[in-house]
Structure formats: C-alpha cells, structure tokens
A and B are shown apart, each in its own frame.
Chain A
Amino acid sequence: MMPSIRPLGDSAVIIQWSSADDADISRSVRQLTDVLNAFGPSDSTSRFTAVVPAYTSITVHFCLSRMSFQQAARIIEQGLSRTEDLLAGAPALIEIPVCFDEVFAPDLADVAGRHHLKRDEVIRRFSDAEYSVRMLGFSPGFPYLSGLPTELATPRRSSPRLKVPRGSVAIGGAQAGIYSQETPGGWHIIGRTPLSLFRAELARPCLLMAGDQVRFVPMSAEEFQRWQDEQ
C-alpha cells in the first residue's frame, strides 16, 4: 500500500495512507517512522529535523537550506522501499498500573451510568482490552490510544475542565488517553496512574512511543500511595 507524499509548507512533507484496515496503516506508519529515524547523523544528506508519526500519516520536517521538497520526497521513497525488507518486530507491550478509586475517577460513575454498566464492569472491560499508541500529542508525552472497547466510547465532556491532574486516565470519544501533564482537558477521567509519562530530563523523555501496545492493570489506593512514595 503506497502512501501519498505531499508538501506541508516549504519545509515539511506529509506522508498519508488511506486504507480500510486500521491495523495495516498503523504498521506502515510504525515501519516508515523507524526507517526514517534510522537515517542518522552518518547519513546527514538524508537527515530530517523531525519525524512525527500520527494516526494515518507521518510528517517529516527538513531544513530548507539543505534540501528541497523534491529531494525530501525522494529520500522518503527510498525509505518506503526499505520498509519492505524490514522485519516487523512485535511492538513492546507496556503495563500501566491504574487506580480506579473514586478520588481519582470523577467521571467513572457517569461513564458507567451512560452505558448502563456497573463501575466494576467498566473497569473490567477497560482493563481487559489491549491498546495501541497511535501518536503522542496534545501535550508532551500524551498518548492517543486506539483499542477502547466500543461499548465504552463516550463523547467528550461538553465543557472541558481547566485542570486535569497529571496521570489521569481518560476516555474521549472512541479513544483513550493519559494526561501526561496537568493541563485543561475535556475527556472523561476514569482513573489515575502513578507513572510519569513525560520526564524532560531523560534522553528518552516519554514512557510510551507511537506503536507501543498498552494494557491497564488495576491497582488499589494503597498500592498507588506506596508507588508514589517510592518515586
């Protein structure tokens, strides 16, 4: 499946896939991102300043005094031909502990009520599913997750909260996400993880990367507390 390659302004290129099969696109995005990221400093003629994977696209930024759109597009085409011999390794599976205790889950009752489910049933279904990180965005390290069971999909809150605590696990439409920093937010908050999703001081600042698989593991309030004390 060949994506389209089009300019995004004078110093970026957007590579877009269209297909009915979500998993197919997700794999293509992950593979090409890996290949483009691997064009390292030793290969400076084909180096991009940024490679940004999203749901069905990758945006590549380049330095305008170093290359033109045509040159960037050629490098991307070379990258695409290399993805074919790339063995797709299994994505990393990362477990995220989540406390669904009421203090951390102001919208859990509401979400349960809307879908005529018991709280515990929402937690069970939410934790049984396996999610895939489609992109990082909104705020540094915020993962957009696909894989939410359809019966838990909940439209965003009509008025966003001004402050959502860091680590809040939330549902927004058909997606799930984790607030990596304290920011405003309009998704339904159903739990909280004690893990840090974004630590600017680390060489690899994000816990999750596009392409990773995620599972949520329920934890008690005591465990949450202990975890936080240890950090």
Chain B
Amino acid sequence: MSIVRVIRAGLLTTIQDLGRPGFRQFGVPTGGAMDRFSHELANRLVGNLPTAATLEMTLSGDELEFLGPTLIAITGGEFSPITTNMEQLSIPQNKPVHVSAGTRIRFQTAQRGCRCYLAVAGGFSVPEIMGSRSTLSSAQLGGLQGRALKSGDELPVGDLKSAGPGLVAVKEHVAISFPAWFVRPLALPAGDMVTLRVLPGEHSSMMSAESQLRFRDESFLITSQSDRMGYRLAATPLILENTSDMLSEGTAMGTVQLPPDGRPILLMADSAPTGGYRRIAHVISADLPLAAQVRPGQFLRFLETTMEEARSLFQKQRANLDHAITMAGLMPGVRVSERLPEPTGSAP
C-alpha cells in the first residue's frame, strides 16, 4: 500500500467518489464528486473503476508528496500543478502521469474552473461508510474522518490489484513521465457567464409572468454563500404569486429552488434529499459537471431545453467519455482494460 502525504492543505480538498444515492431515503445527501465527469475521467485514465475515490480540490490546491511510485491523472479545473522537490516541472492534465517515489506536486490557484480531481492508481482507500468513501462534511462522515484534508494528513492508496488491470510498470528511474496524447476534457467555463440548460420545474408557473421571463433572460450572480450543498444566486428577486407553504418533497442535484426571499438556490451534490421550497427549474444532468466548475463571482444563465435533448446530451457525454478511454487504451504509455464493468447505479 502506498501513501500520499499532504504537505500543505489547500482551501477545501475532500475525498470523493460517486456518493450514496441509495441512502437518500434516510435523509442522507447523495454527495460524491461535484463534477462527476472529471472524477470518472481521472479514474479511467489510471485504470480505476469510476467508483474509486479521488481528491476534489477547490479553487486553491494542495501540495502533496507521493511516498511510493504511482500513476496519477489530474482532470477538471486548471490548477497548474508543478513539481516542487526537483526542477519545477509542469504536470500535464487529462493524461496518465507516472510519478516516482518522493515526488512532490503543488497544485496552485485555479486558473480556470473551480474544482480539480486527482486520481491515483488503486484509488484512495479510506474506509467505506454506507457504501461510499465520499466526504460528507455536514454530517462529518466518510472520507478522512469526515473532514477536509489538513497539512500532515497521510492518505492511504488502495492495492493496485484491486484497482483493475490499468497500470503499466512504473518507471523507477524517471522522476515523472507521461505520454504525448491526452483525452478531451470537460469544456471549462470560457468566461464569467455560463449558460446551463434546464428543464422547467413543477412550480415555475407559480412565479409572476414577469419573473418567469426574467428567469429566462437575466443572469444570476453566484454569491459567496455557495458550496457543495448549493449555490445561492443573486439578482432582482423573483416573485412567487403563490406563497402558500408546501410540505417537504424530494429534490435532486440540479434542482433550482425559490425560497420566499426570491433568490434562487441551485442544489448541488451535498444538498438534502428533500426540501420545502418551490422548484422552478432543474439543470440537466449533462450540464451538472459544468455547473460544478463555475465559481462565486461568476454568472449563470438558464436556457430551457427538452427532456429528449437532455437525455441525448447526457448519452453523448457518456459516449465521449467512453471514446476517450478507448483511445487511451490504444495509445502507448498506459494500458487500460478492454471495457471496465460498470458500478451499480451508474452508466452501462
């Protein structure tokens, strides 16, 4: 078993996987990686199953030391990772990278995007709680003692044999090495205005006609009160014509709720399974990875789409991921198993 040591902790780095969907009925949020596309891509690049645990860094990354030789992959937001115990080498993203024992890598401030994912071959092997290794900070469970990483933490890495047949021989004599090819990553936000496609929520018609138009046409600031549970958005308050109380009902990641103060909340990975606010829209699954890469201070716009398009966009995204991984398997430098079995509850 190998170890990754945290030399200096970043702003908010947690261990994440695909979460605990089956425990929503107990009041437990699904949780897991905010950007599931980049999480899965990182895992696939090192030969892990999509369910293996990765590190999710937020806005400003950690400095890590790899105590044993291993294979890593970095995806998602651009954190300009560099080596710090040797000549400052840039570590490329979206490809597998061999690192030798003792390599230190510093992840810097995000240049683009909000969250980056680090996968190591074998996955981070903290204990599973309710079928998942993901950190749920609100309930202080999962991950490493239910909390974000601290300087000095030592993260256990799983047995390579249990990780699947992805890893090639690690080159002991080279500090870091990587192939020339890379896979197509998630398209990160290009500017400060990000459009997310939505399906209408059940209560959207409870807004005034004018507010319904504004929801479609205006942009919404992502406020600093935004985290893994949800993003509080700011704009001229939207007006609900029906302000009667409602009983709590199910919600989902991507649900846009409208509390009585008229400021929408976009629910994200750690949101509670149920809520008592009106649901005015739902961000489609294919756009949730992008939603995970916007940051406070940027703006969201909502563009209505159809159920059919939502499904076809999601399938296209899955196909791109599969294609990227198939390509990776054909390229020299790393060997990826023919077709990895799917985890329960995920895509075929």
- The chain A residues found within 8 Å of chain B, CB to CB, are 6-12, 14, 16, 33, 41, 49-59, 61, 63-66, 68-69, 135-142, 144, 180-181, 198, 200-201, 205-206, 210
**When each residue 124-143 of chain B gets 1 if its CB lies under 8 Å from chain A and 0 otherwise, what string results?**
00000110000000110100
B209 within 8 A of A: no
Least distance between A42 CB and chain B CB atoms (Å): 13
Q: A9-B255, A52-B250 are in contact. Are A141 and B24 (CB under 8 A)?
A: no
CB of A137 within 8 A of CB of B248, answer yes
> Within 8 Å of chain A (Cβ to Cβ): is B345?
yes
> Are A66 and B27 also in contact (CB < 8 A) when A10-B199, A57-B250 are?
no
Q: How far is the CA of A52 from the CA of B21 in the complex (A)?
A: 10
Return chain B residues, CB-CB under 8 Å to A11. Answer: 252, 285
Is B346 an interface residue when CB atoms closer than 8 A count as contact?
A: yes
Q: Is B235 an interface residue (CB 8 A)?
A: no
The answer to the question of B303 belonging to the interface, with a C-beta cut-off of 8 Å to chain A, is no
Minimum CB distance partner of A144 in chain B: B248
The 10 closest A-B pairs by CB, nearest first: A59-B250, A9-B282, A65-B347, A10-B310, A136-B27, A55-B247, A137-B274, A50-B24, A49-B21, A140-B28
Which of B72-80, B176-184, B224-232, B311-319 forms part of the interface with chain A?
Answer: B311-319
A140 near B250: Cβ-Cβ < 8 Å: no
B21, B138, B250: which has the most chain A beta carbons within 10 Å? B250
Determine whether the beta carbon of B311 is less than 8 Å from that of A68: yes
Q: Tell me the nearest residue of chain A to B140, going by C-beta.
A: A181
CA gap between A139 and B254 in the complex, in Å? 19
- How many residue pairs bridge A and B at CB < 8 Å? 136
Task: Please tell me if the beta carbons of B248 and A135 are within 8 angstroms of each other in the complex.
Answer: yes
Interface of B is mostly: mixed
Q: How far is the CA of A54 from the CA of B250 in the complex (A)?
A: 7
Q: Are B26 and A50 in contact (CB under 8 A)?
A: no
A-B contact pairs, 19 of them (CB 8 A): A8-B252, A8-B282, A9-B283, A9-B285, A10-B307, A33-B25, A49-B21, A50-B25, A54-B250, A66-B347, A136-B25, A138-B27, A139-B27, A139-B139, A141-B27, A198-B26, A200-B141, A201-B129, A205-B26
Binding site for A on B (CB under 8 A): 21-28, 30, 129-130, 138-139, 141, 199, 202, 247-252, 254-255, 272-274, 279, 282-285, 307, 310-311, 314-315, 318, 344-348
Q: Is the CB of A205 within 8 A of B23?
A: yes
Within 8 Å by CB of B21, from A16, A41, A61, A64, lies: A61
When the two chains form the complex, which single residue of B25, B139, B199, B307 contacts A200, counting CB atoms closer than 8 Å?
Answer: B139
Known: A8-B279, A59-B250. A65 touches B315 (CB 8 A): yes
For A54, what are the chain B residues with a Cβ–Cβ distance below 8 Å?
247-250, 274
- A137-B27 CB under 8 A given contacts A14-B202, A65-B314, A69-B307: yes
* A198: B residues at CB distance < 8 A: 26-27
User: How distant is B345 from chain A, measured CB to nearest CB, in Å?
Assistant: 5
Provided the pairs A50-B21, A57-B250, A65-B318 are in contact, do residues A7 and B199 lie with their beta carbons within 8 angstroms? yes
